[in-house]
Amino acid sequence: MFKKNFDAIEVLLVSALVVFLVLFGIYVPTLGFLGLLLMAVPICVITYKKGIFQGMFALLLSGIIIAIFLPYVISVVFCSINFSLGIVMGAILKREKPINVLLGSTAALAGLFALGAAYIIFSGPKDLLNNIYTSFESFMVTYYKSSSGVTPEEVKQFVKYFEIYLPSILILLFFLWSLFQYRVVSYILKYVYKIEVAKFGDFRDIHVPYELSLLFLLTLVAAFLPIPTEFKNAFLNIESILTFIYIVAGASVLSYILSKKLIFKNAFLTKVINIFIVLLFVILPFLSFSLVFFGVFDSVFNIRRFIR
């Protein structure tokens, strides 16, 4: 009986914390975004510790309370995000590897976003997406209006280009969000509840399966084929996601190569210099392209075995 009461109190506390983080994120300027970034953490932790039933109950209770303070549509959006990063991540984290946790959470977020977009297009207000796009374009034109050498036409062209890659940008942002929350949840479980969860391996050992290189080649070829615009845009988004993956894989290869050479006698200083070099390759466009080559080449030939 005491355990059931304690579980109920824990669910209530988790729901209250989620509501606080959401309202903090909405009404507090500047630092409020931290509340939104962390709002699914309590649900993820309780799902991991107590199971899906308690997690769903906390999600439902917090959603009802949020709907009292915020418009219904916004509360549904927050509940969807909390479901993906809370219930899905907590359930997978209980028995899977970290990369599966991230991919599962990202897929859930992306899927819910796709369903929401489909609802808006086919059932909701028809012009909502167009209005959002027009407002964003107007904001960008106004922002760059006073900038020297930048014309409104160039800004509109950039926004149009940005619109094409919106799905892949959102998926990558969802992935980074999942990665951030995984780190937070793992630290909470480790230092508060003394629970060790699965960890990532060494960054220098990241290896992309060679099958993805074939898909990457297909997307590159598809960009030059006379296919409908919708299919071409889909291939461009897949290409951008794979490019990101291969940049990470290439950075891993570069980090592995640098680790085999001690530049300075001081190991710590060498490590700092190596990290700086890898970041330089990631940030600079012409160098990041070489990381893509490293990643693809390693995925096919596994070049680490030739470096000792």
Asked if residue 2 has pLDDT above 50, the reply is no
SS3 127: coil
Say if CB 19 and CB 66 are below 8 A apart.
Answer: yes
Computed over every residue of the chain, the mean pLDDT equals: 82
Q: 15 falls in which pLDDT band (50, 70, 90)? A: very high
SS3 302: coil
Percent of the chain with pLDDT over 90: 26
User: Is the alpha carbon torsion for 138, 110, 72, 39 positive or negative?
Assistant: negative
CA-nearest of 77, 8, 74, 17 to 44 is 17
Write down the pLDDT at residue 102: 81
Residues 6+ apart with CB under 8 A from 100: 92
Q: In which residue are the tokens 């891993």 written?
A: 252
Q: 106 falls in which pLDDT band (50, 70, 90)? A: confident
Asked if residue 130 has pLDDT above 50, the reply is yes
Distance, in Å, from the CA atom of 117 to the CA atom of 113, rounded to the nearest integer, reads 6
With vertex at residue 164, the alpha carbon angle to CA 160 and CA 165, rounded to the nearest 5 degrees, is 120
Say if CB 241 and CB 292 are below 8 A apart.
Answer: no
Give me the DSSP letters along 175-212: HHHHHHHHHHHHHHHHHTS---------GGG----HHH
Which of 93-107, 120-134, 187-201 is the least confident region? Answer: 120-134
Top pLDDT among 126 and 160 is at 160
How many CB atoms within 10 Å of residue 44?
29
Percent of the chain with pLDDT over 70: 81
CA-nearest of 72, 76, 82 to 21 is 82
Count of alpha carbons within 13 Å of 239, Cβ hemisphere only? 16
